[in-house]
Structure 1
Amino acid sequence: MSIKKRYIALIAAAGIGIGWLTLGGTAAVMHYTSSTEFCVSCHTMQTPFEEYQGSVHFSNAKGIRAECSDCHIPSDPVSYLVTKIRASKDVYHEFVTGKIDTPEKYQAHRKELAEMVWQQMKDNDSATCRSCHTSDAMETYAQSRDAAKMHAYGKENNQTCIDCHKGVAHFAPEAELDSKAYDTLVAFTKRTKADAKTVYPISTIAMGELGSVNPTTELSVTSHDGDKRQVTLNAFQMKGAEQVLYMGKGQRAIVATLTEQGQQALQGDDFEADSYGNEWRAVSLNASIDQPVLDTLEPIWNYAKELDNVYCSTCHAKIPSEHFTVNAWGPVAKSMGGRTDISDANLEILTKFFQHHAKDVVSH
């Protein structure tokens, strides 16, 4: 072999060696920096690591564990590299700015960090979720009825996993409602005209000794003296549950709770059975109120939408009110509300919003 050919062979071999070392070294670095051990080596990751250890993705009956990279780093090459480059800012904040280097700072930025990750997952159609979970492989008959229904709804409406499954491995940000929102609602009651013909309470209020009426309930005003109003409540009563009044026949959205005196003061038709054998009758009740009220439902519905944004949409995609019936919304809202710190008063307003815009209301 000539000297020239030897040099060419040597250069080629050196190039291959350097290339192998470069690519191999890069792959090794990429692999190591994707390990859970590396991710949690920064002390700022201690809080999310502890949350992860308490999640089903860390420990479960199947013995399957999802590592940090399984959820946070997509497997396709382009997204993989983009994610690794984007992660360089975490190193910068760890060693330079100390952005989340205390538990207090971490909590202060939790919402910002969570929303950033949620948006990334939404943008890639929850690619990392789908690397393990596929809707085609789901045995929906083995799921709860609500879960199967929501999975079907998600597919029909092109939703992605992260739309609903937030706070799975790490705590979701605590919902915070601006206190001014309720103050604004109260301020609207001061605009209610004294001679308003129809009014709506913004909270549960007393009807003298007759009982109490729930927020958003329509009351027809028959006379007034300043803030004191004589009103008529039209509703439905079911035999066997005479102490409460409902929004409609067969619709178990409670609008008022009555005392014995209130039940005796009712005026109504005879009971008639519905298709399920329950007996209902239309009733009316004349009562007196003196609490703040609205003369339109728009302000309280706007407030309810804000409650929906804060307490519901923080954890999952917004569910249209027409997705459930009046009767279904009651237990659904109660169950979901129990997972948040929403107050009973706000949950009542939110539930009434859903029920007044439910599938069997808007379709009529």
Structure 2
Amino acid sequence: MSIKKRYVAIIAILGIAVGWITLGGTAAVMHYTSSTEFCVSCHSMEIPYEEYEGSIHFSNAKGIRAECADCHIPNDPIDYVITKIRASKDIYHEFVTGKIDTEDKYEEHRMAMAETVWGQMRANDSATCRSCHEFDAMDTYEQSEDAAKMHAYGQENHQTCIDCHKGVAHFAPEPEMDSEAFDNLMAFTQNTSADAKVVYPAETIEMGDLGTINPTAKLDVVEANGSQRIVELHAYQMKGAEQVLYFGEGQRAIVAMLTDAGQAAVNAGEFKADAYGNEWRTAVLTAQIDADVLDSLEPIWDYAEELDNVYCSTCHAKIAAGHFTVNAWGPVAKGMGERTDISDEDLELLTKYFQNHAKDVVGH
């Protein structure tokens, strides 16, 4: 019996040893290959590592550093293993295909790589982000007013972290709109009826020596002769800024900029003070234009939604136009536009889209 017990003990010890070596060795390998040092040892990781070094997750006032694994490898055991298996393709491309072994190749594939990671994070509700950041743990009084509003908006609309925070540790792909889209928009002007009673410019247009009219401004046609039209623009002026025509009383969406001659040509009403003490008056301007125009705003709004998809939604989830007021959208769009290479004309169209669908316009 003692011999059998000895065999059993030896087998048990051997089993434990083999199990320890197998499982322990596997765990050690998994742990080592999850380290930042291992991740950045590949040549193709030099670019993302340099971006990471310049991020707040690498260096910050609190001295807390998020390593590669903290953001890219979920803690859930199954997701952990799946992520490690999925990562084997990176080694294949590093040593076999050289898919992103130059800066040009990396930039060529940046969007596809980013979309892959974003998709994975959406699928697990940004689990790695939430291992450190939780809505319930946020002190919104310590956040900026805009940040607090956007976090509240995210909660209300069931958004996940990666919907808005796409450029936190690495540069987000540089969005760019194909010029063909604008050409397609302008092609719709060829369908504008010669006897259209209302027209809208799709870009900033001149009105002789009176000034310029901004895109999407509603123009009532008084007389038409081919592309030449005499139009009437109904807008508002604010006292002290008579060179500007605004969308509505108290609504600072600019529809036209006037020269001295333009200001003199305005048929204006009487100034009346609003609730904030600003004085406004109605303003009607009759002017001649010679430009391609549309008889519907729909093609412009369709184009603006494409701009939203490319320049806005590449970095964060879509924000409904009705989320802000007309006056709030101006600085919001300008501030966000400065972070991209969107053209001034496209930014103006996008801003007008938001302002025309703002929460204090829709339904009125």
TM over 0.5: yes
* Residue equivalent to 1:100: 100
* Residue equivalent to 2:255: 255
1:143-190 deviations in Å (ceiling 9; x for gaps): 111100000010111101100001110010010112210010111111
Paired with 2:80 and 2:2, the residues of 1 have a C-alpha distance of: 46
* Residue equivalent to 1:184: 184
Retained in 1: the 8 A contact 2:322–2:358?
yes
Structure 2 counterparts to residues 61-210 of structure 1, below 5 A: 61-210=61-210
More displaced stretch, 233-242 vs 268-277: 268-277
Paired with 1:363 and 1:40, the residues of 2 have a C-alpha distance of: 54
Structure 1 residues without counterparts, runs of 5 or longer: none
Q: Does 1:41 align with 2:33?
A: no
How far apart are residue 9 of structure 1 and its match?
1.6
Paired with 1:330 and 1:179, the residues of 2 have a C-alpha distance of: 24
Paired with 2:225 and 2:192, the residues of 1 have a C-alpha distance of: 14
* Residue equivalent to 2:333: 333
Structure 2 residues without counterparts, runs of 5 or longer: none
Paired with 1:202 and 1:171, the residues of 2 have a C-alpha distance of: 32
Paired with 2:100 and 2:181, the residues of 1 have a C-alpha distance of: 30
Paired with 1:147 and 1:249, the residues of 2 have a C-alpha distance of: 29
Structure 2 counterparts to residues 156-305 of structure 1, below 5 A: 156-305=156-305
Paired with 2:361 and 2:225, the residues of 1 have a C-alpha distance of: 34
How far apart are residue 268 of structure 1 and its match?
2.2
How far apart are residue 5 of structure 1 and its match?
2.2
% same residue:
72
Paired with 2:321 and 2:187, the residues of 1 have a C-alpha distance of: 26
Amino acid in structure 2 at the alignment position of 1:322: G
Q: Secondary structure at the match of 1:148?
A: helix
More displaced stretch, 315-324 vs 130-139: 130-139
Amino acid in structure 1 at the alignment position of 2:82: V
How far apart are residue 18 of structure 1 and its match?
0.4
* Residue equivalent to 2:321: 321
Q: Does 1:353 align with 2:332?
A: no
Paired with 1:234 and 1:243, the residues of 2 have a C-alpha distance of: 15
1:314-335 deviations in Å (ceiling 9; x for gaps): 0000000000000000000000
Paired with 2:226 and 2:202, the residues of 1 have a C-alpha distance of: 18
Amino acid in structure 2 at the alignment position of 1:362: V
Runs of 4+ in structure 1 over 3 Å off: none
Paired with 1:174 and 1:160, the residues of 2 have a C-alpha distance of: 22
Paired with 1:149 and 1:196, the residues of 2 have a C-alpha distance of: 43
Paired with 2:168 and 2:179, the residues of 1 have a C-alpha distance of: 28
How far apart are residue 102 of structure 1 and its match?
1.3
Q: Secondary structure at the match of 2:208?
A: coil
More displaced stretch, 1-10 vs 175-184: 1-10
Amino acid in structure 2 at the alignment position of 1:74: P
Retained in 1: the 8 A contact 2:176–2:342?
no
More displaced stretch, 255-264 vs 91-100: 91-100
* TM-score, normalised via structure 2 length: 0.99
Paired with 1:169 and 1:207, the residues of 2 have a C-alpha distance of: 48
Retained in 1: the 8 A contact 2:205–2:214?
yes
Amino acid in structure 1 at the alignment position of 2:268: G
1:251-274 deviations in Å (ceiling 9; x for gaps): 000000011111111112211111
* Residue equivalent to 2:309: 309
How many residue pairs match? The answer is 364
Amino acid in structure 1 at the alignment position of 2:320: P
1:295-352 deviations in Å (ceiling 9; x for gaps): 1001111110010000000000000000000000000000010111111111000000
Amino acid in structure 1 at the alignment position of 2:287: A
* TM-score, normalised via structure 1 length: 0.99
How far apart are residue 4 of structure 1 and its match?
2.2
Amino acid in structure 2 at the alignment position of 1:141: Y
Paired with 1:163 and 1:2, the residues of 2 have a C-alpha distance of: 66
Paired with 2:19 and 2:233, the residues of 1 have a C-alpha distance of: 83
